[in-house]
Amino acid sequence: MAGIVGYGAHLPRHRIKVEEIAKVWGADAPSYKKGLMLREKSVPPPDMDTITLSVEAARRALIRAQTVDPKDIGAIYIGSESHPYAVKPSGTTVAEAIGATPDIHCADFEFACKAGSEAMFVAMSHVDAGHMKYALGIAADTSQGAPSDALEFSAAAGAGAFIMGKENMIAECLFTHSYMTDMPDFWRREHEFYPQHGGRFTGEEAYFATTKGASIALLKKSGMKPEDFKYAVFHQPNGKFPQRVAKELGFTQEQIDPGWLAPRLGNTYSGASPIGLTATLDVSQPGDLIFMCSYGSGAGSDAFVWEVTDRINEVRDLTVRTHKLLDENLTYIDYGTYAKFRHKIKKNY
């Protein structure tokens, strides 16, 4: 099958701590930190959005792809629930910025937190079908969470980009499986600022049932067992869910560690498992198998088995690693600055 020939990530440098949000709303920070297993989250500044995050991640993917001419990219798909426009595509701006226009197909995907893995899946399918030489799948979000809602402690920003191709792969996709049901666990209606969710209902019947449904089916399809994999990446709405689902499926903490970013990054929605994959590729070795399973409310999971090739050693340090973006050069902001950055303050313009 086709696979990844170039990958890249981008994260904002700004962070806000759980304590800073909790003190505004009179919430108990230690219990939120323990319950969500999350210490802080990334915050996009006012001049950063899904399009700008996507462009930077895509440029890094092109650097790691080394010889790919942007004109040979036949499609750009961006999965996000925070496309800057309601009507006007994000993909065309990214295509223009990386020099891939005009002979290209663009589409913006939406599916709660699974939109990014959809973009990867469809991009890869086009290459596999022989429709085009390369296709770019991007997962990016500047997530929304209503003030004082539990989601406000986790809704974060970031992007991961993957150039799919059949030659000079960094990681070949060996198997995929997708699993969907109609699940009203989380949604945002037209013209609403913030999403609504079903509280505890988003757990057992939604995230866990769907992630396990896709993962178990993929393990069966591939004939593989959790111990066959060097690493595993799951959707991470908080630190706790991916850790628990990994354990219940038979994966260990060591397997999820490199891609388990939520405790310090927060929930990057569509970006979550794809950015986790970039961080995992950063530390992987040729021959390693990586298990990946996204989750999007509504609900569905896309699961992938990736096999890392020799090329990883050549390309991993051609640009910045994801953990460096996560750990270094950080600026901590207070709630007032966060409210301003995220346009939570009413103004008459």
Partner 1 sequence: MAMFSSRNWREYPQRYRMEASRFKKSGKTYFPPRTVDPETGDTKQEMVRLPEIGKLLTYTVIRVAPSMWGDEGPYALGVAEMTDGTRVMAQITDCDVEKVKIGMEVRVEFRRIQSEGSAGVLSYGYKFVPKWF
Q: Which residues form the interface with partner 1 (CB under 8 A)?
A: 13, 45-49, 51-52, 55-56, 59, 84-85, 93, 96-97, 99, 320, 324, 328-329, 331, 340, 349
55/132 with CB nearer partner 1:
55
Q: Please state the closest distance from residue 56 (CB atom) to partner 1, in A.
A: 6
Distance of CA 55 to the CA centre of its chain: 15
81/118 with CB nearer partner 1:
81
Query: What distance in Å separates the CA atoms of residue 140 and residue 158, rounded to the nearest whole number?
Result: 6
- Check if 126 is active-site: no
Q: Please state the closest distance from residue 13 (CB atom) to partner 1, in A.
A: 6
Strands of the chain (E only): list them. 3-10, 14-17, 40-43, 73-79, 105-109, 134-142, 157-165, 171-180, 186-187, 196-197, 231-234, 289-293, 300-308, 331-332
Q: Please state the closest distance from residue 328 (CB atom) to partner 1, in A.
A: 7
Residue with tokens 């966060």: 338
- Check if 235 is active-site: yes
125/322 with CB nearer partner 1:
322
51/206 with CB nearer partner 1:
51
Which one from 106, 173, 235, 293 is the annotated catalytic residue? 235
Which one from 40, 81, 152, 307 is the annotated catalytic residue? 81
Q: Please state the closest distance from residue 175 (CB atom) to partner 1, in A.
A: 35
Nearest to 155 by CA among 47, 12, 266: 266
Q: Which DSSP state fits 49?
A: -
- Check if 81 is active-site: yes
DSSP 295-345: -BTTTEEEEEEEEE-TTHHHHTTSS--HHHHHHSS-EE--HHHHHHHTT-S
Which one from 113, 126, 177, 293 is the annotated catalytic residue? 113
26/46 with CB nearer partner 1:
46
Contact partners, residue 8, CB within 8 Å, separation at least 6: 56, 57, 58, 59, 60, 61, 62, 63, 64, 160, 161, 278, 319
- Amino acid identity of residue 104, one-letter, is I
Q: Please state the closest distance from residue 93 (CB atom) to partner 1, in A.
A: 6
**Catalytic positions:** 81, 113, 235
